[in-house]
Structures are given as C-alpha cells and as structure tokens.
C-alpha cells in the first residue's frame, strides 16, 4: 500500500537537505508531493521543486474548486504568507500500487493529510535539532538571500517553539524523533525506517 512520508521539523532543522537526499535515493523510489506558497521565492528555489509559487488569487481559485486539503497563514513582517496542500487525485488512484511519496510539511499539515488520506498511509518523519544549532543554520541560510529578512527569520524561530511544542506533537500522534546532530547518521536511520515500511 502507498505511504506518504511527511518530513516535519522546525525551521533550520534540515528538512530540505533530507528531502533532497531521500528523493534522490533510487532504492527508496519516492515521488515528491509539492506544496504551495504565496511567499516570495528564495534564492536557488525553483517553481515546482520546493513549492508551487502562487498568489492569493491562485489560492482562492483552488479553494473555490474544493481542492485544498489544508492551509496555514503566517502573519509575517512582510504581510500574510499562505502555505497549503492541494488534493492530488493521482495519489488516491494509486493507493494499491505501492507508490510512495515524500512531502515537507508541518504538524498541522501532517494531521490534515492523515485525515484526508488515512493514518495507515501518512507517516511522520520528525527532524529535531538543538535550538542554538538551528538558529545558527537559519542565520547562515538567510545571509545568502539577496534581501535577507532577519525579522521574519526571528519570528519563525519563536513561532516554532509553540507550533512544535511537545503537547502539539503528542496530539498529532508524533512520537518518534530523528536527532539531526549528525546528518549522515540521521539520514541512515530515516532510510532504514522507510525501507522497513516497504510492502
């Protein structure tokens, strides 16, 4: 049966790096589910790879067509930025085909996808990093941007403390955590768990 692995973690935890490694691993043969956002593209991001970049009109069109599984709005210092997941009928059509997917999400998006596709299909991969290390990584990434948004980086860092609280993780049914202090070791553990789920 199909599995959808949702990479979850605070900003700067390494989700994008794990995603790139996991999607490139031919043994895992994972297909990507690409989310949507109305925020501006970062340097080195590409349409349809990290996200589908749209505007509020595009979001409203999908809402009106009842194609949204979940959406979140972040009130940033640069205005409201929406992130959302759209329905993909191909996944439902291929449930019995053992085609496995990977998606970068949040606790909230994981819960909504679990409600939509089923808890036997949607599996969390929660990445955890010590806060000081995470902040250093986020700052390093932000410095590479053409127009760094440090205030937004700080807002996200503080918001993550609430969004990823132990209480919220427990409510979502997320108990396993992958410690990303050694990237290769953490990656190997995730790959092993994915391979253990292959039918």
- Supply the pLDDT for residue 199: 59
| pLDDT-based confidence at residue 92 (cuts at 50, 70, 90) | confident
What average pLDDT score do residues 195-199 get?
A: 80
Ordered by start, the domain boundaries in the chain are 4-191
Distances, alpha carbon 198 to alpha carbons 30, 89, 114, 149, in Å: 11, 22, 18, 41
User: Cα-Cα-Cα-Cα dihedral of 143, 148, 153, 154, to 10°?
Assistant: 90
- To which residue do tokens 């992130």 refer? 83
Which has more pLDDT, 92 or 30? Answer: 30
Task: Tell me how far apart the terminal alpha carbons of the chain are, to the nearest angstrom.
Answer: 7
CB 103 within 8 A of CB 111: no
Each residue's pLDDT tens digit, 135-160: 998 899 899 988 898 988 998 899 89
Instruction: Return the DSSP state at 14.
Output: S
Which has more pLDDT, 198 or 32? Answer: 32
Each residue's pLDDT tens digit, 11-69: 889 998 999 999 999 999 999 999 999 999 988 888 988 899 999 999 999 999 999 99
Q: Which of 1-10, 53-62, 78-87, 93-102 has the lowest mean pLDDT?
A: 93-102
| Mean pLDDT of the chain, nearest integer | 92
Strand 68-76 vs strand 35-37: parallel, antiparallel, or unpaired?
A: unpaired
**What pTM does this model have?**
0.86
Q: Which of 14-18, 74-78, 100-104, 178-182 has the lowest mean pLDDT?
A: 74-78
CB 50 within 8 A of CB 39: no
Architecture of domain 4-191: 3-Layer(aba) Sandwich (3.40)
Any bridge partners for residue 11, and if so which?
none
């Amino acid at each position: 049966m199909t599995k959808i692995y949702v990479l979850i973690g605070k900003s700067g935890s390494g989700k994008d790096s794990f995603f790139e490694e996991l999607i490139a691993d031919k043994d895992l043969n994972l297909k990507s589910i690409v989310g949507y956002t109305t925020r501006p593209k970062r340097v080195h991001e590409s349409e349809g790879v990290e996200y589908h970049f749209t505007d509020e009109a595009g979001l409203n069109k999908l809402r009106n067509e009842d194609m949204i599984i979940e959406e979140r709005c972040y009130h940033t210092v640069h205005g409201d930025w929406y992130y959302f997941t759209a329905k993909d009928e191909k996944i439902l059509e291929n449930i019995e085909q053992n085609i496995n997917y990977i998606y970068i999400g949040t606790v909230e998006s994981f819960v909504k996808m679990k409600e939509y596709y089923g808890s036997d299909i949607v599996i969390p991969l929660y990445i955890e990093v010590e806060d000081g290390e995470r902040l250093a990584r986020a700052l390093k990434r932000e410095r590479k941007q053409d127009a760094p948004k440090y205030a937004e980086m700080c807002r996200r860092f503080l918001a993550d403390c609430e969004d990823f609280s132990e209480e919220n993780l427990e409510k979502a049914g997320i108990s396993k955590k992958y410690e990303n202090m050694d990237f290769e070791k953490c990656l190997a553990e995730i790959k092993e768990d994915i391979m253990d789920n292959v039918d």
